[in-house]
Amino acid sequence: MKRELIERELTEVGPKRRGSARGRRRSVTVNLGESPLTWLHARGHLDDRQYDAGERLRADYERAQLSPQVTMRWDAVRVDCGTGRDGMTPSERQLSAKDRFDGAMAEAGAGLKDILWRVACGCEALAEAEKGLGWPSRSGKLVLKLALDRVADFYRIR
């Protein structure tokens, strides 16, 4: 799978130190363009197969346009709706991506797809996803890895 280069937007963030007489700030450099899956993969928590499966799932999610939309679309109107290289119209490509996404989520299973969607598609940090699901901290990584393994099987990633 071809990986796109992500433009890095680095910023300094961090809370003030508590108990500090001078109120000095402790900060960390964060890449705002980095997804949670990329962060986990870069630090060795996900292998290449799991990362590729998560990115493929997110790509299908975005191609299917499943994320919340505004009520008005401001895209330019297309006059020519001819078929592309794959012989499909844009609507057919969108439906195909939705079918793949639905199949991959079904393959992940009922107990695993919640954290999978939050981290891979919703781009929530793992700690936030655990909190949102009411799970104990540090339990989400194992469940996410199991879900990504199942999704990799669905996409036939070796």
SS3 6: coil
Structure tokens at 12: 């300094």
Distance of CA 10 to CAs 41, 42, 85, 89, 155, Å?
Answer: 18, 16, 37, 39, 33
pLDDT of residue 3: 46
Q: How far apart are CA 98 and CA 118, in angstroms?
A: 17
Q: Which residues of 32-67 are buried (b: 16+ CB within 10 A; e: fewer)?
A: eebbbbbbbbeeeebeebbbbbbbbbbebbebbebe
Question: Consecutive sets of 10 residues in the chain, 158 residues long: mean pLDDT of each?
Answer: 49 54 61 85 95 97 87 66 73 94 96 95 94 93 97 97
Q: Residue 126: enclosing H or E segment and its boundaries?
A: helix 126-133
Question: Is 117 in contact with 23 (CB distance < 8 Å)?
Answer: no
* Residue 109: both structure tokens together: 């299973």
Q: Where are the domains of the chain?
A: 35-66+90-158
**What distance in Å separates the CA atoms of residue 151 and residue 119, rounded to the nearest whole number?**
14
Q: How distant, in Å, are the alpha carbons of 23, 24, 25, 26, 55 from that of 20?
A: 5, 7, 9, 11, 42
Q: Rounded to 5 degrees, what are φ and ψ at 44? A: 80, 10
CA 141 from chain center: how many Å? 14
Q: Which residue has the tokens 């008005």?
A: 72
- pLDDT of the residue at 84: 65
